[in-house]
């Protein structure tokens, strides 16, 4: 995956919804991943999309449009503990590694 773009920072209020967009360019697409990373800690897996559409997992949902090279992560009913960096990552066809975007730092305010 190359040229993975996501916003640098987002701020939202506790209980609200935030949508983090990710655009990517790749020669051959083989999956898009979202990870959560708290400061100084390991990235932890949130979601995986390989087909177009929405994947829902509790308060978190992820959407993929392969034709547009676009994904978003939707965080609902925000909690203070959701303050973290959210990383968009892409796997190319024939590859096993993930290429990561720079991450979006989400700050949840009371």
Asked whether the beta carbons of 97 and 36 are under 8 A apart, the reply is no
How many other CB atoms are found less than 10 A from the CB of residue 7?
15
Asked whether the beta carbons of 5 and 103 are under 8 A apart, the reply is no
97 binds another protein (CB under 8 A): yes
33 binds another protein (CB under 8 A): yes
User: Would you say 8 or 67 has its CB closer to another protein?
Assistant: 8
Dump the DSSP string for 55-72: EEETTEEEEEETTTTEEE
Token reading at 91: 């796997």
Number of residues binding to another protein, judged by CB under 8 A? 22
Token reading at 83: 């303050």
51 binds another protein (CB under 8 A): no
User: Would you say 81 or 97 has its CB closer to another protein?
Assistant: 97
Q: Which stretch binds another protein (CB under 8 A): 21-29, 62-70, 72-80, 96-104?
A: 96-104
Binds another protein by CB under 8 A, chosen from 41, 52, 56, 77: 41
69 binds another protein (CB under 8 A): no
């Amino acid at each position: 995956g190359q040229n993975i773009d996501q916003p640098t920072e987002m701020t939202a209020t506790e209980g609200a919804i935030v949508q983090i967009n990710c655009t990517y360019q790749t020669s051959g697409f083989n999956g898009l991943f979202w990870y959560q990373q708290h400061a100084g800690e390991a990235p932890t897996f949130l979601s995986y999309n390989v087909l177009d559409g929405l994947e829902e997992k509790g308060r978190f949902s992820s959407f993929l449009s392969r034709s547009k090279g676009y994904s978003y992560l939707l965080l609902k009913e925000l909690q203070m503990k959701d303050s973290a960096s959210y990383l968009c990552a892409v796997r190319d066809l024939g590859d096993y590694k993930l290429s990561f975007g720079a991450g979006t730092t989400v700050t949840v305010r009371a």
